Amino acid sequence: MYRVVLVDDEHLIVEGLSKVVKWESLGCQVVGTASDGREGLALIRQEKPDMVLTDIRMPNMDGLTMLAALQSEFPQMQVTVLTAYRDFDYAQRAINLGVCRYLLKPSKMNELEEAISTMKERLDNLPAAEEPPAEADPGEAGSFIVRAALDYMRQHCTERISLADVADHVYVSQWHLSKLINRHTGQSFFDLIGGMRIEKAKALLADPSMRVHAIAEQVGYNDVAHFSKSFKKIVGKTPGEFRDSLGKDK
């Protein structure tokens, strides 16, 4: 029996899917339901189901990022989207992320059964190994998550953000995000954040009226000595030397 999780913020949809679909005759068992995306992600990580039927237009949830998180963290899990959101480009992006089917509400029973049968067929044809190796490339879903994480980091790099904050934003675990970032960029989270802060500092140093300690504080450093050391490590010059070089280049 394949294990199934249902996620939708409409209670009637979840109740209907649970009761109307003849899961047992299809070789499946519903092991849990959730009423919003974050609750659904927590349930999926707990139950590790074979299949997920989920909406992607739920409160406080970026649907595409949620799908990418699922596909990158659980690449063998089969996902069908069930939504009222009628946008071809959005649907195409979801499918590119590895979604099995993109169904529009209200869906007919034969559409649901076809989606479930397709997910079953994919699962039946998976390699014998229970799990893919940890080093397996999660493909477009992994790239999507890294791009979303880097965008968030650039926007918030001057704040006191942690790996946990970024992982929470893109709906994956800290461990998984760390692995993805390292695989796609060859750098650690802390190296990337430091580099982003120094790039902002370089732009601010072009203003001679700004003191170095004020710049350090503005880009997220409480200690000017730590800022200067980090700046020299990345740029090869102290902040003062870099500012002087800007004057000479003019």
137-157 tens-digit pLDDT: 568 899 999 999 999 999 999
Are 116 and 24 in contact by the 8 Å Cβ rule? The answer is no
**Boundaries of every domain in the chain:** 2-124, 190-250
Task: Tell which residue, 90, 80, 68, 63, has the closest CA to residue 122.
Answer: 80
Q: Please report which confidence band the pLDDT of residue 43 belongs to, taking 50, 70 and 90 as the band edges.
A: very high
Non-local (6+) Cβ contacts of 108 within 8 A are none
**Is 0.85 surpassed by the pTM of this model?**
no
Q: List pLDDT tens digits, range 101-127.
A: 999 988 888 999 999 999 999 999 988
d(CA 244, CA 242) in angstroms, rounded, equals 5
pLDDT at 176 over 90: yes
pLDDT of residue 247: 73
CA–CA distances in Å: residue 109 to residues 30, 96, 102: 17, 25, 14
Q: Please report which confidence band the pLDDT of residue 83 belongs to, taking 50, 70 and 90 as the band edges.
A: confident
DSSP annotation of 96 reads H
Q: Please report which confidence band the pLDDT of residue 7 belongs to, taking 50, 70 and 90 as the band edges.
A: very high
pLDDT at 97 over 80: yes
CATH fold of 190-250? Arc Repressor Mutant, subunit A (1.10.10)
pLDDT of residue 129: 57
CA–CA distances in Å: residue 39 to residues 13, 67, 80: 16, 14, 17
pLDDT at 132 over 80: no
Q: Which CATH architecture has domain 2-124?
A: 3-Layer(aba) Sandwich (3.40)
